[in-house]
Structure 1
Amino acid sequence: MSIRLIKPGDDLTAVATVMQQLRPALTVAEIIARMQQQQSEGYQLVCEEQDGDIRALAGFVFVRKLAWGKALYVDDLVTEETHRSKGAGKRLMDWLKVHAVENGCEQLHLDSGRQREDAHRFYDREGFESNSLHFVFRVASSQPS
């Protein structure tokens, strides 16, 4: 098994297929288009793979916030469903933690949907604290009164 950064310009088809397990409302083509756009804006992808098969995948960015300082923010984290609970997510999370330190980050952050209770147990085991709520206002569907 190896963990590697996916470079801009790499074929994202296999990556998008795994990512679709986390983002099922999107087609593989939509995921590829969004990932390519985001890569041009600093989004990075990392995966654990074995024999060419992606076991786990993360998309992340480096951010700087007043409240956090420099942080590695994980946008997307998914373990391919046939490899869940076999250590792939843990190995990828360990890599992300080291990568954050190597890049001068003070913290590592992520958001997780309330319904993802298995993921929350994983984050608890990994030492994450649940210390805020994330609120969304859908601008595109709102009209000023």
Structure 2
Amino acid sequence: MSFTFKIIEKEAITSVVSLVEKLNDFKISLEVLNKRFAEMITQNYECAGIYDGEKLIGVCGLWFCTRHYSGRSMEADHVFIDETYRGKGLGKQFFEWIYNYAQEKKCDAVELNTYVSNHESHKFYYNEGFKILGFHFLKKL
């Protein structure tokens, strides 16, 4: 199988919503997700996709910022690969592409958050060399 990794064009950002919705533990409506992605793409946000031919099968949001403890960083967000493509090393290939892209963007680090209940992702990120630095807290207003 031959896959393509690339940044999704801003105009096509809503194409990721159907995949991101599968991560949606908060049960956010498709309407709200579409609106939020349209707003996110106007900020320091890009989204990478994995394509099998023309079919989008994986996504990873990429937030860019500078942090006092890590320097210029890329935060990987809402990483998702279609269930039928898992277990084939595609996640490792995708993250290699992401690391290279971060270096092209002059980043010093890649960071991420993952849901506490997503145990499979924890093992993957440990194997990729990520370290837990703290807890991510959220308070809805």
* 1:56–1:88 Cα contact (<8 Å) kept: no
Give the drift of 1:41: 0.9
Give the drift of 1:137: 2.8
Task: Give % identity.
Answer: 21
1:53-79 CA deviation, whole Å, 9 max, x = no partner? 222110111110111110001122111
1:40-96 CA deviation, whole Å, 9 max, x = no partner? 012111111112222211011111011111000112211112212122222211111
Q: Which amino acid is 1:66 matched to?
A: H
Give the drift of 1:8: 1.1
**Counterpart Cα distance in 2 of 1:11 and 1:105:** 23
Please give the secondary structure, in 2, of the residue aligned with 1:45: strand
Q: Which has the larger radius of gyration?
A: 1
Give the drift of 1:11: 5.8
**Counterpart Cα distance in 1 of 2:12 and 2:116:** 33
- Tell me how many residue pairs correspond in the alignment: 138
1:110-135 CA deviation, whole Å, 9 max, x = no partner? 01111110000010111111121122
**Counterpart Cα distance in 2 of 1:72 and 1:11:** 18
- 1:18 and 2:19 equivalent? yes
* 1:21–1:80 Cα contact (<8 Å) kept: no
Counterpart of 1:94 in structure 2 is 96
Counterpart of 1:52 in structure 2 is 54
Please give the secondary structure, in 2, of the residue aligned with 1:74: strand
TM-score (norm 1): 0.87
Q: Which amino acid is 1:107 matched to?
A: A
**Counterpart Cα distance in 2 of 1:67 and 1:11:** 30
Counterpart of 1:143 in structure 2 is none
* 2:13–2:37 Cα contact (<8 Å) kept: no
**Counterpart Cα distance in 2 of 1:44 and 1:28:** 19
Unaligned runs of 5+ in 2: none
**Counterpart Cα distance in 2 of 1:122 and 1:44:** 22
**Counterpart Cα distance in 1 of 2:87 and 2:65:** 30
* 2:58–2:80 Cα contact (<8 Å) kept: yes
TM-score (norm 2): 0.90
